[in-house]
């Protein structure tokens, strides 16, 4: 059943598929069951137990910066940001903003800022000025175990 628009290569591929499907269709359920039984009869190699890579030691020991593999990740750059507050506004209001517009945030004046690393809260802080540049003084740092729990 060659179509007039098929190339000889396409026809050869179609013939191969037809032969493979016909061969697979000849197998009975008994043949399939026998093949499965042969696979079960082979002794498999003993499997090593999977390690628990949950991140927190099972003995509930505090997480420390001391570790054999920590040096590998110490130089990885991360993005740190300070969040004064946030709010939700409609696109209509967003498009109407111009110089001098005021956006009300969800924080009170004097509340600490959130310090985020790659979007994860790690500390709270307050704004300071150092050599005419803004800085953040950390007032409350989230414990390492709490940060690890938030990563999950």
**Residue 5 forms part of a structural domain:** no
Reported as a single tens digit per residue, the pLDDT across 91-135 is 999 999 999 999 998 888 888 899 988 888 889 999 888 898 888
> How many domains does one find in the chain?
1
> How far, in Å, CA of 23 to CA of 7, rounded?
24
Residue 93 sits in a domain whose CATH number is 2.30.330.10
Tell me what pLDDT residue 57 has. Answer: 52
> Dihedral through CA 110, CA 116, CA 149, CA 141, nearest 10?
-50
pTM of the model: 0.46
In the beta sheet, which residues pair with residue 140? 124
**Residue 4 forms part of a structural domain:** no
**Residue 143 forms part of a structural domain:** yes
**Residue 120 forms part of a structural domain:** yes
Q: Which domain holds residue 116?
A: 75-151
Q: Which residue has the tokens 């004046």?
A: 109
Residue 67 vs residues 26, 64, 70, 149, 150: alpha-carbon distances, Å: 59, 7, 6, 19, 21
């Amino acid at each position: 059943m060659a179509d007039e628009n098929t190339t000889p290569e396409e026809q050869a591929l179609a013939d191969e598929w037809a032969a493979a499907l016909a061969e697979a269709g000849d197998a009975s359920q008994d043949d399939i069951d026998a093949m499965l039984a042969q696979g079960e009869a082979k002794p498999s190699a003993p499997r090593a137990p999977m390690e628990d890579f949950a991140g927190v030691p099972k003995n509930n020991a505090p997480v420390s910066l001391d570790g054999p593999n920590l040096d590998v990740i110490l130089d990885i750059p991360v993005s740190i940001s300070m969040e004064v507050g946030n709010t939700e506004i409609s696109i209509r209001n967003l498009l109407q903003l111009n110089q001098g517009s005021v956006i009300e945030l969800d924080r009170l004046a004097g509340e600490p800022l959130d310090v985020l690393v790659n979007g994860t809260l790690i500390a709270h802080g307050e704004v300071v000025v150092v050599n005419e540049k803004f800085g953040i003084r950390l007032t409350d740092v989230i414990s390492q175990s709490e940060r690890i729990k938030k990563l999950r």
